[in-house]
Chain A
């Protein structure tokens, strides 16, 4: 019997198998395939609401984000209808090259040559709205800054020791690293605001 189980070729097993073959089973009915098609379709349709819900949630989130940005912008602008006390328009600095050339027509300066601008409509400049009280603060700040030395571009201001007002201030020796590689005289153009520091052309060049 053991050989019969292992190999499956024993005569007893063959006899049993021939008997078992007398019960034939039909092929699966086609309705199963149709049912499975419907199941597949339902499953696909079940996935669609999830997609639509995701898209709807994304749209709501986007709308919320836009709404928050708009609310934030409204909070920045003055809520009260009070008119601003001052409205300053920043002065555009004049072209320094043109001005320098007009002052020193014979000097050969390394300023880049600017092309003459084509006549056209000037771009509108943004209006600076000053809140009530800010105008006074800005005026005070401007007054304080008038007496403060400003460093030339690329340099640092040497440290100035505090002392009595009637004695001249002691200026520490500037380090070598602080000294600009080019030595020249600098001038402050007070006619412009904010002030412009530029090198004064020397005759040795």
Chain B
């Protein structure tokens, strides 16, 4: 169903998109959808919000591609910045995870048994709750550093802060998260590998 991946740089694909090439635009989406969606999901803690954020980011790229300046940052960094801003907007509007059907059902068919799935879901819920307890400025740098594995300079570009400020935020975020998770590690709900 999906077409073969298009070759070309992000700039070439953006130019083709501006000329009305739908497949070029979808290729850009396929390149960066995982990063944007995962980041938005972890920032908001909501699949619905992550979906909304992801759609908004790429739609805004489609509507006004001139906002992206390739000389300043890569397209992935630009989209992460857009996702960060959209996620903060969602957080300020009080988006919350819907109580039912929010955890992904990743293992339909062969996989761990029901008990193991329940335990995994419980661990994921604890981590998600611990992350959501962080302040947004701490949460975003922690997600970008630990999940997306971006370097400090790129994180600083995404969040619009100095590298020194990012270091400080990251340090505080880890300390706070460690304190929250320590209880769950001690009672055996979480395991450190």
Query: What residues make up the interface of A, taking CB atoms closer than 8 Å to B?
Result: 1, 5, 8, 12-13, 15-20, 22-29, 31-33, 35-37, 39-41, 43-44
Could you list some 16 contacts between A and B, CB below 8 A? A15-B192, A16-B146, A16-B178, A16-B181, A17-B146, A20-B131, A20-B147, A22-B124, A23-B127, A26-B104, A27-B34, A31-B51, A35-B55, A36-B62, A40-B22, A40-B62
B106 CB-CB contact with A under 8 Å:
yes
Cβ A28 vs Cβ B25 within 8 A: no
User: What is the CA–CA distance of A39 and B44 in the complex, to the nearest angstrom?
Assistant: 24
Question: With contacts A16-B174, A25-B38 known, what are 12 further pairs, Cβ within 8 A?
Answer: A5-B170, A20-B131, A23-B42, A24-B104, A25-B41, A25-B42, A27-B34, A28-B36, A33-B33, A36-B25, A36-B62, A44-B22
Do B22 and A37 touch across chains, with their CB atoms under 8 A apart? yes
Q: How far is the CA of A13 from the CA of B47 in the complex (A)?
A: 27
Chain B: residues with CB nearer than 8 A to chain A?
20, 22, 25-26, 29, 33-34, 36-38, 41-42, 47, 50-51, 54-55, 58-59, 62-63, 104, 106, 120, 123-124, 127-128, 131, 145-147, 167, 170-171, 174, 177-178, 181, 185, 190, 192-193
**B192 nearest CB across to chain A (Å):** 5
Residues of B within 8 A of A35 (CB): 55
Q: Which A residues are CB-close (under 8 A) to B167? A: 5
Pairwise interchain contact B62-A39, C-beta atoms closer than 8 A = yes
> Separation in Å of the A38 CB from the closest CB of chain B?
10
Given contacts A15-B192, A18-B193, A28-B34, contact A23 B51 (CB under 8 A): no
Contacts of A27 in B (CB 8 A): 34, 37
Cα distance, A31 to B120, chains bound together (Å): 26
In the complex, are the beta carbons of A36 and B20 less than 8 A apart?
no
**Complex CA–CA separation, A16 to B29 (angstroms):** 31
Return the contact of A36 from the options B29, B38, B42, B147 (Cβ within 8 A). B29
In whole Å, how far is B71's beta carbon from the nearest beta carbon of chain A? Answer: 26
CA distance A37 to B25 in the complex (A): 9
Q: Are B26 and A37 in contact (CB under 8 A)?
A: yes
Q: Which 5 A-B residue pairings sit nearest by Cβ, starting from the closest?
A: A26-B104, A28-B37, A23-B127, A18-B193, A22-B123
Nearest CB of B to A47, in Å: 8
Task: Give the chain B neighbours of A23 by CB distance below 8 A.
Answer: 42, 123-124, 127-128, 131
**A16-B146, A25-B42, A28-B37 known; A36-B127 Cβ under 8 A:** no
Determine the chain B residues whose CB is within 8 A of the CB of A16 once the complex forms: 146, 174, 177-178, 181
Instruction: Knowing A18-B193, A36-B59, A39-B59 are in contact, say whether A1-B54 is a contact too (CB < 8 A).
Output: no
Complex Cα distance, B166 from A5, in Å, reads 10
Max chain B Cβ within 10 angstroms of own Cβ: one of A5, A13, A18: A5
- Cβ of A25: which chain B residues have Cβ within 8 Å of it? 37-38, 41-42, 104
The distance from the CB of B110 to the nearest CB of chain A, in whole angstroms, is 17
